[in-house]
């Protein structure tokens, strides 16, 4: 899908999962080469920035959040912008197509009269999209913590793990975006921009760094929480094993004592009418003795 929106001298072209005929259109009508298109539609491309001096085009691959959870956790996907003097071409996937409406509001803003001013406002909005999801992760974490305090279940622990995995994606994505923006700031094309647009770029960098910091804090909290519950589970397992070992030892004593009286060898009290009672008392005595000894040593 290719869709073009024009405002004054600015053009915004949306591209979503282009087929072969649309790729041909991008090459012929918008003068994009195969390498640019390959970068733009690669869902595993890392965040980066390049300036093609020959074509006078700036290529930005920016990590955007996927609002809908994939495999029970949040993820990110790259969204590509190819910028020339009057146009911005944005490439989406099905997962990031929801950003089209968000970018449309930026394009329609009257204050955006230059292509780079428009680009930086779009990047600011994309960075801003991380915050609601980070807050949602924090909200779910608080809710899961309350549930785990009441009862530690595998289901809730897996949910905690999914939240932690989502934050790993967010942290990696926001760090990549920060590096990208710092590199963009050093490019000649950015250094030659008017002061107002440089300030907009600085605003995007500040917003992205804030997203990194928030994600890092949330990730650390989840990591420590997961470690705490892992320790609790290990302690519970150790206590259960200790309990079973102690009672196995205590219950083994009667078996040993009665086993002696079951042998075909002469033993005291064998022919006594109350011999079984004496054997039982001996078993109880040694069992109690072991139990008291373990209790004194605080093993029980």
Residues 178 and 209: beta-carbon distance below 8 Å:
yes
The pLDDT of 135-146, averaged and rounded, is 89
Q: Say which residues have a Cβ less than 8 Å from residue 14's Cβ, sequence separation at least 6.
A: 1, 2, 3, 4, 5, 90, 92, 100, 103
Kindly write down the DSSP assignment for every residue of 198-212, as one continuous string.
Answer: HHHHHHHHHHHHHHH
Q: What is the full DSSP assignment across 242-285?
A: HHHHHHHHHHHHHHHHHHHHTSSS--TTTTSTTHHHHHHHHHHH
142 to 74, 220, 223: CA distances (angstroms) = 17, 14, 14
User: 226-277, pLDDT tens digit by residue?
Assistant: 777 776 767 777 777 877 777 787 778 777 777 766 666 666 666 666 666 7
Burial of 97-135, coded b for 16+ CB within 10 Å and e otherwise, reads eebeeebeebbeeeebebbbbbbbbbbbbbbebbeebbe
Please tell me the least confidently modeled range out of 11-15, 53-57, 86-90, 197-201. Answer: 53-57
Is residue 211 very low, low, confident or very high in pLDDT (cuts 50, 70, 90)? very high
Directed axis angle between helix 154-186 and helix 195-261, to 10°?
150
β-sheet bridge partners, residue 83: 58, 88
Query: For the chain, where do the domains classified as CATH 3.30.460.20 start and end?
Result: 2-235
Calculate the alpha carbon distances from 6 to 3, 44, 111, 117 in Å.
Answer: 10, 30, 15, 15
Q: How far is CA 119 from CA 21, 173, 284, in A?
A: 27, 19, 84
pLDDT in tens, 103-116: 888 888 777 778 89
Structural contact between residues 16 and 97, judged by C-beta atoms closer than 8 angstroms: yes
Looking at the domain covering 2-235, what would its CATH class be?
alpha beta
């Amino acid at each position: 899908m290719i869709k073009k929106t024009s405002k004054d001298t600015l053009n915004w072209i949306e591209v979503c999962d282009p087929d072969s005929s649309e790729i041909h259109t991008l090459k012929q009508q918008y003068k994009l080469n195969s390498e640019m298109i390959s970068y733009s539609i690669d869902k595993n491309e890392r965040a980066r920035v390049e300036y093609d001096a020959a074509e006078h085009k700036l290529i930005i691959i920016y990590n955007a959040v996927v609002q809908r959870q994939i495999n029970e956790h949040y993820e990110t996907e790259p969204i590509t912008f190819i910028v020339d003097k009057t146009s911005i071409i944005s490439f989406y996937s099905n997962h990031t197509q929801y950003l089209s409406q968000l970018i449309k509001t930026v394009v329609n803003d009257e204050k955006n009269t230059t292509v780079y001013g428009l680009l930086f406002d779009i990047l600011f909005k994309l960075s801003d999209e991380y915050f609601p999801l980070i807050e949602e992760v924090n909200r779910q974490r608080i809710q899961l913590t309350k549930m785990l305090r009441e009862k530690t279940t595998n289901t809730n622990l897996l949910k905690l793990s999914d939240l932690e995995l989502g934050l790993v994606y967010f942290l990696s994505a926001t760090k990549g975006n920060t590096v990208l923006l710092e590199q963009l700031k050093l490019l000649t094309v950015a250094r030659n921009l008017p002061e107002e647009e440089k300030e907009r770029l600085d605003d995007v960098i500040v917003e992205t760094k804030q997203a990194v910091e928030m994600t890092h804090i949330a990730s650390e909290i989840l990591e420590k929480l997961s470690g705490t519950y892992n320790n609790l589970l290990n302690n519970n397992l150790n206590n259960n094993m200790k309990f079973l070992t102690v009672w196995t030892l205590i219950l083994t004593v009667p078996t040993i004592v009665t086993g002696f009286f079951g042998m075909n060898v002469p033993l005291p009290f064998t022919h006594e009418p109350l011999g079984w009672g004496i054997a039982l008392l001996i078993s109880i005595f040694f069992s109690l003795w072991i139990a008291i000894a373990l209790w004194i040593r605080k093993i029980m």
